[in-house]
């Protein structure tokens, strides 16, 4: 699955004396995953033997889908989520590749996604919104 660095939300990692400062930016201000993400970061770092960790929230510059890595976009598509496009809508159906698609709702299962549908294979799919 997609990693936090793929998502582009880890803005900085730096040592301050013996404390590791990880700077994280939220995708959406109300994203319910934020606390889980922070917990995951701490757990992962502790698993690597790092004991003193400080998580810093940085709002500006605000997160943009431009920070998604190419690898991250590929992983999204492989998972059935159409990656963000500069044009503002998905390029094609992530299931069958058809370009014949339509928007169902500007929002999807999470704030970062919108709901679309393929008119060929008739499958609905999530589109990762471009912000």
111 binds other proteins, rule: CB under 8 A: yes
Closest CB to other proteins among 18 and 59?
A: 59
Closest CB to other proteins among 50 and 110?
A: 110
What is the three-state SS of the chain? CCCHHHHCCEEEEEEECCEEEEEECCCCCCCCCHHHHHHHHHHHHHHCCCCCEEEEECCCCCCCHHHCCHHHHHHHHHCCEECCCCCCCCCCCCCCCCCCEEEEECCCCCCCEEEEEECCCCCEEEEECCC
**Restricting to residues 64-103, which ones interact with other proteins according to CB under 8 A?**
none
Q: Which stretch binds other proteins (CB under 8 A): 42-50, 55-63, 67-75, 77-85?
A: 55-63
| Dist CA 15 CA 125 (whole Å) | 41
Please select the residue that binds other proteins; options are 14, 107, 119, 122, rule is CB under 8 A.
107
Closest CB to other proteins among 62 and 96?
A: 62
Please select the residue that binds other proteins; options are 38, 115, 120, 123, rule is CB under 8 A.
115
Total residues in contact with other proteins, by rule CB under 8 A = 22
The nearest distance, CB 109 to other proteins, in angstroms, is: 7
15 binds other proteins, rule: CB under 8 A: no
């Amino acid at each position: 699955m997609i990693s936090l660095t793929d998502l582009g939300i880890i803005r900085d990692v730096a040592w301050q004396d013996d404390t590791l400062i990880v700077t994280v930016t939220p995708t959406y201000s109300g994203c319910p995953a934020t606390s889980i993400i922070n917990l995951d970061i701490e757990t992962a770092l502790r698993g690597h033997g790092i004991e003193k960790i400080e998580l810093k929230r940085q709002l500006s510059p605000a997160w943009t889908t431009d920070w998604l890595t190419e690898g991250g976009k590929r992983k999204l598509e492989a998972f059935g989520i159409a990656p963000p496009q500069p044009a503002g809508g998905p390029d094609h159906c992530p299931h069958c590749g058809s370009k014949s698609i339509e928007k169902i709702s500007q929002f999807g299962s999470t704030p970062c996604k919108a709901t679309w549908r393929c008119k060929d294979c008739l499958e609905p799919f999530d589109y990762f919104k471009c912000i």
